[in-house]
Chain A
Amino acid sequence: MSNDRKYTKKTILQYVGLGLFALSLLIFTLMLGLDNYRFTPEQLTAPFDDELHQTALREAGEASGLFSENYGTTFAATDALAATFKDAQARVDAHYEANGLPAGKQKWEVELPGWQLDSQRTGWIKNAANGPVSGSPWLFFFLTLGLGALGGLLYIIPKFRASPGIKHDHIYHSSLTRGLNLSWRSVALGAAIIGILLYGFYYMGQKMFWPAVTAVIALIIIGMVMIVQKSLGREARDAGPETYSGYLGLLAGTYFIFFYILLYWASHHIVAWVAMVSPLSEGIYRFVSGKDSGGEASQWFLYGLMYTTIMIVMGVRMISKYRHNKYQVIRTLSVMFFQLSFAFMIPEILVALNKPWYDFKNIWPLDYDFFHSWSIDGFLDNPGQLGMFMLFWGILLIIVGVPLMVHLVGKRWYCSWVCGCGGLAETMGDPWRQLSDKSLRAWKYERFIIHGVLVFATLMTAATIYSFLPERDYWFDRSTFLIVFSLLIGIAMAVVFSSWWKERFEAGRLGMILAGATGVSIIGLNLYYLSFGGDSYLFSSTGDTQKWYGFLIGAGFAGVVGTGFYPLMGNRVWCRFGCPLAAYLGLVQRFQSRFRITTNGGQCISCGNCSTYCEMGIDVRAYAQRGQDIVRSSCVGCGVCSAVCPRGVLRLENASGDIGQRTQAIRTIHVTEDDISIMM
């Protein structure tokens, strides 16, 4: 303890809690190396029907000694599997070379395809595991998730004894929560982006196209912000400590990033984690379905379970921190509830009942694969009405639910009350909310990137639906879709541009031009396909587009950067810069909502608490000190600016009486030539 006393006091119980949490984290990390992996011929051949494939794999395994070795790490097991698989492929090829292909078959139909290694690897390694974790999964479950949750709660619950009020002491003194300065942050972000693009090259089967397109778009955006919008050369608000002393934050961020990389792209290395939660998954499945077997966990069950546990423990923390503020308490209970029920339990129950996995609160385009063919097939193929209801409900949320709810109360109803990503940000991410970049430059990047993702998601989905639909002879064919799609965009544009024309809101010229150009281009594109038709919409391969979107946006942006960068760029990196649904909700909020944050006359003292603790990087103070209502598309309505204001200046409100004038600076406090007053 340094003698400048820049720390919060902790009780013995809290130190015990911290210790238990650290221990659980240590076990959680080290347990990945505890098990051994022994393959058997039966396991190796089980996924294959072709006898020739089975024989080749068995022989290759025997030749390479795969079945006699008990591998000590997943890395060794992976290598051995790869070598064996390659040998088996060669054996199959050699067989056909010697004996010729079966009559009427192409080689690709009968060979042992390389993608099978990728898709079977995790399952093989999972089944090969033996050792302490596989032997006693419950023990490890309790030593990691259990002990971690217990430690967290022991640390958090004593906080309820402190007197209610704002609890921000020493946030910028702690190396965990103080963040990094602009240069170090940029290095970390740059490294992450380049890493993802490089990996993307391999992910897309060593094809340059999509990583290159992404890099070009990134350069265009940088050019737009730096040159067109003249941000280059302007000294940006650094907003970071002068040193890289936020090392605990950096460490935490790195840990999160590696966790996501393993989860998304290297699940064969985390079979021990999955094995540990499998008994629980099986228990739920068997209890609900009444069956005696089945329900093994995947890495997605592990993720859902951890996500939910973390949100509940950190939700308790959020409530302890803001228990003087009913808005925060109710909002936090709401996100905890929606995560536990809608996102975690209900989908598990649905699957156990042989229904499609479905999260009733997840909305396209955040739920970007809602319209993918396997998803639609899942809804349509389901016996009974439930599948149809899910499809209908999903579409209803998109075209009625979102605009209506945002109109009434702002996008907060979703982003900070219901959404899972938002829920994690508001609970686990709360300690880092102050790290969002408030510079004007960051805001410029935000607008280009998030709306870019929305456009990409929309086009990808259009291509998906186009490919899925029959060309003719159905009540809803490709032409119908293109017309409906164009109409929806046309109506949205008409609404926005007519009110812009009537000066009902203030908006930048560049933004309006770009928005108009995008809308017109999409309608033009639709007219083209309507007139000339085509096998696929815009993209040469819809499948590749979906794959790249899932990789880059769904996993890389939302997961690796979105959560991994909590301790470096604040807890809403994804929601602020990437989420296409947030962009959609934001457009409605900006142009057609009753919601705003009102400022209380002349009480603002420009202290900056509101801006500092705005997780979306909104410079709230810039509005508050002018007495101007805050209408920003990015505002998720978390209400923390209002909570931390020491002078009672900010309030989240809804009203339709002035809906056309919300964004105008009409209530600014200022002097007229004959008087000083608060202008109304």
Chain B
Amino acid sequence: MHVAIIGNGIAGITAARWLRKLDDDVRITVISAETDYFFSRTALMYIYMGHMRFVDTQPYEPFFWEKNRIDLKKAFVERVDPANNRLYFSGGEEMGYDKLIIGCGSKYNKFGWPGQELEGVGGMVSYQDLQYLEERTPDIRQAVVVGGGLIGIELAEMLHSRHIPVKLLIREQSYWSNALPPEESRMVSRHIKNHGIDLREETELDIIEDNGSGAVGSIITKSREKIECQFVGLTAGVSPNVDFLKETEGLKIDRGIVVNEHLQTTVDNIYAIGDCAQLLEAKPGRRNIEAIWYTGRMMGETVAYNVLGKSVSYDPGIWFNSAKFLDIEYQVYGEVPAKGREGLASLYWEHADGDKAVRINYEANGGQVRGFNLMGIRYRHEVCEKWIKEGTDIEAVLRDLALANFDPEFYDCYEKEVVAEYNRQTGSQVQLKSKRGLEPVLKFLGLGKYGRKTAKA
């Protein structure tokens, strides 16, 4: 069987790796027009800032692909012909397949702004986007970044590292307030401004203006302000990169490629994974398109089973994510809605410095813990997940809160303050019981000598 995979991102590559792990005979071809080898897209910013070389963003050495008999093909797929199981590449080449996995990722959103096709307008999704920014950099005296999501702040940080004055335009009152609760959102806003990045709240792009030579000269906001700039970064979200598939017969495309819980599209032998896949039915509390690293990884693994005829349904489990806003690390586990929810109580503690915070959400009636939001403090995934999965009572969680702490050794611990904050709010008398460290965690998770005999993976 020949499995062709369009896209060498985390989803496609994970699929290829698992196909090989599960089946020694399957022929695997990964097709990408972007780069020769798989690289970590999330690390693009570090190349621009000089933290890493491009090769450092590649998790596998070149020989890995040959050793695992994964064929890499650098080509651009123009058209898929499902009736004849063929792919047509730009340049006239073609290739047959038995099963096809599409993991072609996202592209950055353009909302029809006048001037959005001018020179000096770019995003930060692909390797080509990075190259383009590098190419423009010498000409940029001032930059505007439109959209305050995760990529927006990264692009602002990148430009800032090259000493380019940046204005970060966000529609909301504070940074990423549609995803972060208000306190955390305001914390990041403050942090951005402290770093010398000009955060413009409630500011929307209206027009991108030509400087007279086909390149950006300035922008006009919806409140008619004119901002001189030589680069406009469009970071108002991403959407599935599926234009080339729109004419594919029998393949249902909505915003993304529609797939069932086995990641199968409306064409029997075609599957879609990662950013470009749109689940027919979203899992409870999750969206039907999630452009997230680990969901791409999980989908890649799940699809390998399904392609090989072992039915496995996709289940991303309890929500988690992480990011870094300039110098503030962010982690989230479970349910942390930006605007809260009826019946969901929220314990929020913030450090006096204003750059660290812990939020624990739990049921106001019943006390089951539902979610954790961490700013500038690291918590253990497995511990938080177990508490959430088991609906552990908030007071039990607080007593054992130190188990969750994942900060490096010698760091100040704030569990006591979090518990005190809870006691202050509720009048309870909860006492912090456990100490942080791996030994009690192993015990709690039932690992090593504390658990069942562990099977080898």
Which positions in A face B, CB cutoff 8 Å? 2-6, 9, 163-166, 168-174, 234-241, 324-327, 330, 434, 439-440, 598, 600-603, 605-609, 611-612, 621-622, 625, 639, 642-643, 646-648, 651-661, 664-671, 673-680
Q: How far is the CA of A667 from the CA of B449 in the complex (A)?
A: 15
Residues facing A in B37-79 (CB within 8 A) are 40, 42-43, 46, 49-53, 55-59, 61-63, 66-67
Closest Cβ of chain A: how far from B258's Cβ, in Å? 20
Residue of B nearest to A602 (CB): B294
Q: How far is the CA of A660 from the CA of B448 in the complex (A)?
A: 8
Best-buried of A238, A324, A651, A656 by chain B (most CB within 10 Å): A651
Are B381 and A657 neighbours in the complex by a CB distance under 8 Å?
Answer: no
Closest Cβ of chain A: how far from B454's Cβ, in Å? 5
Residues of A near B381 (CB, < 8 A) are: 600-603, 678
Closest Cβ of chain B: how far from A221's Cβ, in Å? 20
Are B310 and A658 neighbours in the complex by a CB distance under 8 Å?
Answer: no
Are A642 and B408 neighbours in the complex by a CB distance under 8 Å?
Answer: yes
Are B331 and A680 neighbours in the complex by a CB distance under 8 Å?
Answer: no
Q: How far is the CA of A606 from the CA of B162 in the complex (A)?
A: 24
Residue count of chain B within 8 Å CB distance of chain A? 82
Q: How far is the CA of A235 from the CA of B56 in the complex (A)?
A: 15
Residues of B near A2 (CB, < 8 A) are: 138
Residues facing A in B384-442 (CB within 8 A) are 385, 406-412, 437-439, 441-442
Known: A605-B42, A607-B40. A169 touches B50 (CB 8 A): yes
Q: How far is the CA of A173 from the CA of B407 in the complex (A)?
A: 31
Residues of B near A646 (CB, < 8 A) are: 323-324, 329
The contact of B314 among A169, A655, A676, by CB within 8 Å, is A676
The contact of A655 among B134, B161, B382, B438, by CB within 8 Å, is B438
Binds A, one of B270-278, B298-306, B336-344: B298-306
Best-buried of A6, A164, A603 by chain B (most CB within 10 Å): A603
Are B408 and A639 neighbours in the complex by a CB distance under 8 Å?
Answer: yes
Q: How far is the CA of A239 from the CA of B381 in the complex (A)?
A: 32
Closest Cβ of chain A: how far from B368's Cβ, in Å? 20
Q: How far is the CA of A648 from the CA of B409 in the complex (A)?
A: 13
Q: How far is the CA of A670 from the CA of B412 in the complex (A)?
A: 33
The contact of A612 among B18, B52, B63, by CB within 8 Å, is B52
Are A608 and B324 neighbours in the complex by a CB distance under 8 Å?
Answer: no
Closest Cβ of chain A: how far from B230's Cβ, in Å? 12
Query: Does B117 lie at the interface of the complex (its beta carbon under 8 Å from any beta carbon of A)?
Result: no
Query: Does B327 lie at the interface of the complex (its beta carbon under 8 Å from any beta carbon of A)?
Result: yes
Are B406 and A326 neighbours in the complex by a CB distance under 8 Å?
Answer: no
Are A163 and B194 neighbours in the complex by a CB distance under 8 Å?
Answer: yes
Query: Does B293 lie at the interface of the complex (its beta carbon under 8 Å from any beta carbon of A)?
Result: yes
The contact of B312 among A330, A440, A673, by CB within 8 Å, is A673
Residues of B near A679 (CB, < 8 A) are: 457
Are B382 and A678 neighbours in the complex by a CB distance under 8 Å?
Answer: yes
Best-buried of A326, A607, A646, A653 by chain B (most CB within 10 Å): A607
Q: How far is the CA of A670 from the CA of B317 in the complex (A)?
A: 12
Are B327 and A163 neighbours in the complex by a CB distance under 8 Å?
Answer: yes
Known: A163-B194, A163-B195, A676-B298. A609 touches B329 (CB 8 A): no
Are B447 and A680 neighbours in the complex by a CB distance under 8 Å?
Answer: yes
Are B162 and A600 neighbours in the complex by a CB distance under 8 Å?
Answer: no
Residues of A near B324 (CB, < 8 A) are: 646-647
Give the dominant DSSP class at A's interface.
Answer: loop
Are B62 and A326 neighbours in the complex by a CB distance under 8 Å?
Answer: no
Residues of B near A674 (CB, < 8 A) are: 312
Are B316 and A236 neighbours in the complex by a CB distance under 8 Å?
Answer: no
Residues of A near B134 (CB, < 8 A) are: 4
Residue of B nearest to A440 (CB): B61
The contact of B442 among A603, A643, A657, by CB within 8 Å, is A657
25 contacts between A and B (CB under 8 A): A4-B137, A163-B195, A169-B49, A170-B49, A170-B50, A171-B50, A241-B53, A327-B409, A601-B320, A602-B381, A605-B40, A609-B46, A609-B51, A611-B56, A612-B52, A642-B408, A643-B408, A648-B374, A648-B378, A655-B448, A666-B456, A673-B305, A673-B312, A676-B302, A680-B382
Known: A169-B50, A172-B52, A661-B454. A671 touches B312 (CB 8 A): yes
A/B pair count, beta carbons within 8 Å: 230
Are A612 and B56 neighbours in the complex by a CB distance under 8 Å?
Answer: yes
Residue of A nearest to B408 (CB): A327
Residues of B near A607 (CB, < 8 A) are: 40, 42-43, 46, 57
Query: Does B95 lie at the interface of the complex (its beta carbon under 8 Å from any beta carbon of A)?
Result: no
Are A9 and B163 neighbours in the complex by a CB distance under 8 Å?
Answer: yes
Closest Cβ of chain B: how far from A671's Cβ, in Å? 5
Are B57 and A608 neighbours in the complex by a CB distance under 8 Å?
Answer: yes
Query: Does B322 lie at the interface of the complex (its beta carbon under 8 Å from any beta carbon of A)?
Result: yes
Residue of B nearest to A678 (CB): B382
Closest Cβ of chain A: how far from B43's Cβ, in Å? 4
Q: How far is the CA of A330 from the CA of B412 in the complex (A)?
A: 13
Q: How far is the CA of A619 from the CA of B161 in the complex (A)?
A: 27
Closest Cβ of chain A: how far from B440's Cβ, in Å? 9
Are A657 and B450 neighbours in the complex by a CB distance under 8 Å?
Answer: yes
Q: How far is the CA of A678 from the CA of B379 in the complex (A)?
A: 16
The contact of A168 among B18, B43, B49, by CB within 8 Å, is B49
Are B51 and A676 neighbours in the complex by a CB distance under 8 Å?
Answer: no
Known: A169-B49, A171-B51, A612-B56. A671 touches B302 (CB 8 A): yes
Are A647 and B322 neighbours in the complex by a CB distance under 8 Å?
Answer: yes
Closest Cβ of chain A: how far from B445's Cβ, in Å? 6
Known: A606-B42, A680-B382. A647 touches B448 (CB 8 A): no
Closest Cβ of chain B: how far from A501's Cβ, in Å? 17
Are B329 and A172 neighbours in the complex by a CB distance under 8 Å?
Answer: no
Are A666 and B454 neighbours in the complex by a CB distance under 8 Å?
Answer: yes
Are B442 and A655 neighbours in the complex by a CB distance under 8 Å?
Answer: yes
A-B pairs with the 10 shortest C-beta distances?
A: A601-B381, A658-B448, A165-B327, A648-B378, A655-B438, A234-B63, A607-B43, A646-B324, A653-B438, A170-B50
Best-buried of B61, B138, B448 by chain A (most CB within 10 Å): B61
Are A239 and B55 neighbours in the complex by a CB distance under 8 Å?
Answer: yes
Q: A440-B61, A602-B297, A651-B378 are in contact. List 12 more A-B contacts (CB 8 A).
A: A166-B327, A603-B331, A607-B43, A612-B51, A625-B59, A647-B329, A659-B448, A664-B454, A671-B312, A678-B317, A679-B457, A680-B447
Residue of A nearest to B47 (CB): A172
Residue of A nearest to B326 (CB): A165
Are B317 and A677 neighbours in the complex by a CB distance under 8 Å?
Answer: yes
Q: How far is the CA of A658 from the CA of B441 in the complex (A)?
A: 11
Residues of B near A6 (CB, < 8 A) are: 50, 162
Residues of B near A605 (CB, < 8 A) are: 40, 42-43, 293-294, 322
Known: A6-B50, A169-B161. A603 touches B62 (CB 8 A): no
Residues of B near A241 (CB, < 8 A) are: 53
The contact of B327 among A164, A173, A239, by CB within 8 Å, is A164
Query: Does B315 lie at the interface of the complex (its beta carbon under 8 Å from any beta carbon of A)?
Result: yes
Are A657 and B457 neighbours in the complex by a CB distance under 8 Å?
Answer: no
Best-buried of A166, A325, A680 by chain B (most CB within 10 Å): A680
CB 8 Å contact bits of B74-98 with A (1 = contact, 0 = none): 0000000000000000000000000
Best-buried of B305, B410, B457 by chain A (most CB within 10 Å): B457
Residues of A near B40 (CB, < 8 A) are: 605-608
Best-buried of B302, B316, B329 by chain A (most CB within 10 Å): B329
Closest Cβ of chain A: how far from B358's Cβ, in Å? 13
Residues of A near B456 (CB, < 8 A) are: 664-666
Residues facing A in B244-297 (CB within 8 A) are 293-294, 297
Are B50 and A172 neighbours in the complex by a CB distance under 8 Å?
Answer: yes
Closest Cβ of chain B: how far from A11's Cβ, in Å? 14
Q: How far is the CA of A427 from the CA of B137 in the complex (A)?
A: 33
Are A608 and B56 neighbours in the complex by a CB distance under 8 Å?
Answer: yes
Query: Does B118 lie at the interface of the complex (its beta carbon under 8 Å from any beta carbon of A)?
Result: no
Closest Cβ of chain B: how far from A189's Cβ, in Å? 19
Are B42 and A665 neighbours in the complex by a CB distance under 8 Å?
Answer: no
Residues of B near A234 (CB, < 8 A) are: 61-63, 66-67
Residues of B near A240 (CB, < 8 A) are: 53
Known: A4-B138, A169-B161, A657-B442. A621 touches B59 (CB 8 A): yes
Known: A326-B410, A657-B439, A678-B382. A603 touches B61 (CB 8 A): no
